[in-house]
Every structure is written in structure tokens, then in C-alpha cells.
Amino acid sequence: MQRREGLAKLTGRERYVDDLPLEGALWGMTVRSPAPRGRVSAVRFRPDVNWSEIVVVDYRDVPTANEILLIERDQPVLAAGYVRHVHEAVLLVAHPSREMARRAARAVDVVVAPEPPALDFRAPPRPEQIQFGRDNVLKRLQIAKGDVEQALARAPVVVEGVYETGAQEHVYLETQGMIAWLENDVLVVKGSMQCPYYVLNALQHALGRDERRVRVIQTPTGGGFGGKEEYPSTIALHAALLALKAGRPVKMVYDRPEDMASTTKRHPSLVRHRTALTTDGRLLAQDIEVVLDGGAYVTLSPVVLSRGIIHAAGPYACDNVRIVGRAMFTNAVPFGAFRGFGAPQTLFALERHMDVIARALGLDPVELRRRNLLRDGQSTATGQVIRDGTDRIAVLERALALSGYREKQHSHAAFNAAQRSQRRGIGLATFYHGAGFTGGGEVHLNSRLQVAGLPDGRVEVLSANIEMGQGTLTVFTQIVADRLGLAPEEVVIGEPDTARVPNSGPTVASRTTMVVGRLIERAADDLRHRVGLDDRARGAAVKDAIMRWHREHRGEPLLGEAVYERPPGIAWDEERYQGDAYAAFAWAAYVAEVEVDLRTCTTRVIDFVAVQEVGKVINPTLARGQVQGGVVQGLGWALMEECKVENGAMINNQLTNYIIPTSDDVPPIRVAFVENPYPHGAQGAKGLGELPIDGPAPAILNAVAAATGADPRAIPLTAERLMEIVERTH
């Protein structure tokens, strides 16, 4: 099935938030803090602007609660006399002219009496830097299994390692943008977002409006990757405050430098491993410490840390595991959701560490993984017993065969012996990713979805889950069409509008197809039952029954409904962090081949193979695209995407010097799937969206290590960083 919105995007007809005309609208701009920490001693308005023409909003204009509703309520909508990071929003301005609004924002001077900022999450804070609790720790979590200390004491081999990952910019095609206006005393906010109900809840909380007086609508969204999960609540509140004060519509759309400087990034991390093994490479104990930079406010750091530590021990069997994690407060721009949600950081550390272990033992990296990969009946670090029937060894072997792993090892040895300055190597990563919210998260969400029968016999899906380029509209259409025997053109996907769609949960956590898609199937079945049909009825019978129902019940809506139900046998202990962390895991093995120029220390990925088991693949083209996109994003994070920061501020906040992969940097990416249908996912599907970002970075760095003999343990592995390592090695 072709993409539902593909032609509109291809021809430029798709209308994003910046394309939407608004009669009489103002342009909103943000005045931000110039300092990472301190008290605002003055706000000065320069006289070269006619301030009588400018709408100005500060924290005193927030009607009810100057708080952005999320996990914690520590982040203000607008700074109230104190700032905790560079670029923190202090003031809002609006004017009918976009350029005049920009001029006005530049004409406001925020004067900050500086205080000592905490800018290095890896270093213990000095007393004057402590601003959160006793030690700047935003969140602590721990996983324990078996007796790690005893296993370490008795082990014949212990291998240690420290690994670091940097921040990463989302680089969605469309920057953050929102419009807000009043319509019969209903505040309407429309814009680029992943989670309409997150935005709705934030507006209700800060503005003191009930759900009847706030409406949130998602516009076509040009990419998210997590960057449009929590941050849109902030820009939505800013646009809404300006619109309420002005009594006119307000549009706020960030330009690229502002977006890169002031919005969330992937959490930087430091991960320490201490691993006990037998001499033949069997895992005896894993002792892991995970530290994340949370930035200046909590945002989603606790759940990013949660997923990070749950994945930190990897897809391996080990009887003794201890994982301690903490997210640190710093005066950096807050970090937030990003594709993978903590797992890429910890899986990078683990999979790079597995190759370090193999080298220490004189063991083949493939054999080390083969000996330790989970088999059915064995348990993860949280004690979740795996019984999904997936052959993880078969996934590994498929990747080795497709990549020609053994043959290339031999050809690389000959190539490297013959070349003076070029080196080739091949590297591997095996990993997994839990689909859906962690533990009892899906139960807590209590997601609801409706499928409406329309008077003309078509069927409409009413869901708060959104399309942001990943294929939601197409997959949802396909699920309904297959379930009811309809043609794709007989299926309508309703606009995500909180005034008419139920809360089916956020578009995050690899849950859309598996969890929400399953709700669609159940709601479609309910619709069929409501018109008096059984589950075997399809096609014309369904259409005719829907139209007949409407003739008999004129004006009444016809809705099939479904509410999330936890799959049987799933139990999670939130206090002890034990049990079934996820209803299902997806599994993968990735192989990267690289060529390194020893003169410049530049690395090119010349071939890439990605093999994954994600249940049943519903749409092979979209699934392949998800994998290839994740690999490219992971390649950028591994080799080139470096956030350069001075005094808490990103200084390369433009796409001329924040380097992302171009088509010339991308190798052939060969994608294969091993199918093992999951009984509780739509058509047997598991989650896919995040898995592909977990494996590229460690596979690439393992390949670089094989090519050069160097031992890189931090990303991005830029040419400058690799040159230092190579010079130390040789």
C-alpha cells in the first residue's frame, strides 16, 4: 500500500503550521536568558522600538500556575526572576510583522546577576553549584539480580570499561511551530506535535481552563524523533499567552538557530562497566553504572533513565546483574525525549564493551555474543523470563551471512597489509528494544480509541496518534482495511483534534503499530458487532450494514470502541524494578563495514546490514524506511554530530557547522526481517521505530577498532578524536 500522504508531500501541497494563513495574526517571538544561572536583576526595553505596538508577556501573565505540567512541575512557563539555563524563556513579544517582532525581541536586554553554574554532569558538584536536592541528582534508579559482589570476587576474569556519548540534535525537517487563537471563548492551539493530549494537559494546568475551553489540533508534522514529544507544550503555552493577551491569533515558528539552541537534545551519558566472566567468555556478573545529563529541569529524564538502565545489560543471559543509574541536574538547556529514549546510550556502552571483552579474552566477538545471547526460558536483568520463541542466534547468523562477515574479515586483512594509509574493518552489535511504555505505563495511560462508521459506509479512525513521517496514516488505513475487508479509499483517518478524538496515548515508545494498531483492530470488531455482524463479515456486508444503521438511527454517531487491556501474564514491580518491563521485545543484529583514512582519520561507512525480528512486518516498504532512517541517524551520532557547548550554550546551532550525514556519507543499507508474529500486536506486529537507532553506533565503532587497532570508547568519533586515539595507540 502506498503512503496516504505521500503525494501531498511530494508535490508540496501538504500544509504545515507555517503554511497556514491566519487573518489578523501576530507573530510571536521569545526573549531568552543570556546566562546559565542567576537572578534576573533587570529587564530593559531599548527606546529604538515603539513599544506601544508590541504585545509583551511575562510570568505575571500566566493565569493560574507558572508550571509546565509533565513528570515534575519544576519548569516555569516563563522565568520568574531566576534563570537556570542559557536561552531560558523570560519574556514573549508579538507584532503583526515577523521582522518587527524579531527586532522587538532583540531590543530587550535581560540582565542576570550570575551565580556559579553546574555544567559538567560527570563531576561531583561543588557546594555552591548544588541546586537540586543534596547533590544535584534528579533521579536515582537501581536494578539488582543475584549476588554481583560474590560473582566478581570469584570470577577468573574481570573486564572494566568507561564509555561516553554526546548530545544529539533531532534535526527534524520542520522546526517547532504553534498557532493559537480564541474561538467563542475556546482556546484553540494548532501545531507541530507528537502528543496532542500532553499539550492539552499543559494548557489546562497553566491557564486554568477545563477541557471544554481548550482544544488542541495537530497539523501535518515534519518529523519529530521525540523532539516534538514534550517541548511543544512550552511553545504552545507561549503562543496561547500572547493570543490571550492580544485578543488576536498568534503564530510562533522558530528559525533553525533558535530551535537548535533552545530545545531539548539527546541526553549525554557516561556508562561504567565491570564484567565478570569465565575464561571461555560466559557472563557471570554485570556491574553497570549509568549517569545521564538531565539539564536544568526534570522534563522526561526519569523515564529516559528508566529505559536506559533496563536495556543496559543487553540481550544476554547473566545470573548476577547490578545496574545503578542517576540523572544529574546541570545548568544546560534541558535534555529530553529522543528516539530510543536512553537505550541507545546504554546499548552503545554495552556493545562496545562486548568487543573490549572479546579482545581481552582473545575471543571472537561473534562467538562471545553467540555464547551469551538469551535463549527462551532465560531472564533479563529485571527477571523477565523470555518465552517469545524468537531464535536470536538465527537473527545473528542472518546478519553475518548477509554481510559476508567472515569473508570480509579475510579480505580486510589482505587490504590492510597492502595499503599504507587506508584501513578497513567490520563490526557487529546485537541488541534489543522493549516496545510500548515500561512496566505498568500502558495500563496507567488507559488508552482509548474509536472507529466510526460514516453514513456513506466508509470507516473513520479516531485516534490521538499522529503522522510525523513514519507512516501512521498508511499503517492505520491498512489495519482497518484488512480487518473489515474494505478498500483503502474506504478508510478515513480523522484529524488528531482533542475536541473529537479520544486519548489513545502519545506517539512515542514504539507503541503506535503494536499497541494502538491492536486497539484499532478491536474497535473495528466492536463496530462490526454494533451493526449486528459477526467477525467473519467483510467488505460489502460491512458497508451495507453501516449505511443501513445510519438510515435507521438518523443523526446518531456509530462508534466502535476499544480500551487498552494488558496482555496476560505481564507483571511489573515498580518499587523493586523487577518483572516484565515490556510486553514484547524486538531483537536485532547489525553489521557495519568501514574504511578509515589514517592520514586524516576520517571514517567512511562503506556497507551496512541490519537484521531485525519485529514480529509481523505489516508494510515492508515503511518498515525498511524506518530501519534505514534509524541507521543514518545512528551513523551521524556515531561519527559527526557533535554539539559544541560553551558556558551552557550550544555554539554550533546551525546546519552549516552541526554536521549531519548527507547522501554521500550513507552506505548501502541492506535490511532484512526475521518474522515471529506477536499475538497481542496488530496483525502480529511489535514496535519498530526505536530499535534501529540502538545498533549503528556500536557496530560502527567496533568496525573502526577492528580496522585501526585503536580502542575508541566515546562518540561522536570525529576525525579529531580518532586522530588522538590512533596517535596514542601507535
- Model confidence at 74, pLDDT cuts 50, 70, 90, reads very high
Give the CA distances from residue 347 to residues 268, 297, 361, in Å, rounded to whole numbers and listed in that order: 13, 25, 21
| CATH class belonging to 269-437+576-729 | alpha beta
Look at residue 555 and tell me whether its pLDDT is greater than 90: no
| Alpha helices in 56-110, H assignment, sequence order | 98-106
pLDDT, one tens digit per residue, over 503-513 is 999 999 999 99
Each domain of the chain, given as residue ranges in start order, spans 18-115+170-262, 269-437+576-729, 441-563
Average pLDDT over residues 457-486: 98
Mean pLDDT, the chain, whole residue set: 97
pLDDT at 163: 99
Burial class (CB in 10 A: 0-12, 13-18, 19+), 646: exposed
Rounded Cα distance, 427 and 594, in Å: 8
Res 356 pLDDT > 80: yes
Residue 281 has pLDDT above 90, yes or no: yes
Beta-carbon count within 10 A of 4 CB: 21
- Across the range 134-146, mean pLDDT stands at 98
pLDDT in tens, 588-607: 999 999 999 999 999 999 99
Predicted confidence band at 22 (pLDDT cuts at 50, 70, 90)?
confident
**Tens-digit pLDDT profile for residues 286-331:** 999 999 999 999 999 999 999 999 999 999 999 999 999 999 999 9
Which residue spans within 674-717 are E strands per DSSP? 714-715
269-437+576-729 and 441-563: identical CATH topology: yes
Question: Sorting pLDDT into bands at 50, 70 and 90, what band is 228?
Answer: very high
- At residue 159, does pLDDT exceed 80? yes
pLDDT for res 730: 75
Is the distance from CB of 714 to CB of 535 less than 8 angstroms? Answer: no
Residue 518, pLDDT score? 98
Asked if residues 335 and 268 have their Cβ atoms less than 8 Å apart, the reply is yes
CATH topology of domain 18-115+170-262: Aldehyde Oxidoreductase; domain 4 (3.30.365)
The number of C-alpha atoms within 13 Å of 420 and in the hemisphere containing its C-beta is 1
Fold of 441-563: Aldehyde Oxidoreductase; domain 4 (3.30.365)
| Mean pLDDT across 193-209 | 98
Q: How confident is the model at residue 185 (pLDDT cuts 50, 70, 90)?
A: very high
Distance CA 621, CA 494 (A): 23
CA nearest neighbour of 87 among 503, 649, 705? 649
Residue 379 binned pLDDT confidence (cut-offs 50, 70, 90): very high
Residues of the chain with pLDDT > 90: what percent? 99
Three-state SS at 261: helix
The pLDDT score that the predictor gives to residue 16 is 98
SS3 429: strand
- For 176, residues 6+ apart whose C-beta sits below 8 A from its C-beta are 192, 227, 228, 231, 232, 235, 253, 254, 259, 263
21 CB-near residues (< 8 Å, 6+ apart): none
Please write the tens of the pLDDT for every residue from 384-404.
999 999 999 999 999 999 999
Instruction: Tell me if residue 129 falls in helix, strand or coil.
Output: helix
The Cα 307–Cα 310 span in angstroms is: 5
Three-state secondary structure call for residue 174: coil
How much is the pLDDT for 729?
A: 83
pLDDT value, residue 620: 97
The pLDDT tens digits of the residues spanning 611-620 come to: 999 999 999 9
Read off the C-alpha cell for 10. 511530494
Chain-centroid distance of CA 284 in Å reads 32
- Look at 730 and 283; give whichever has higher pLDDT: 283
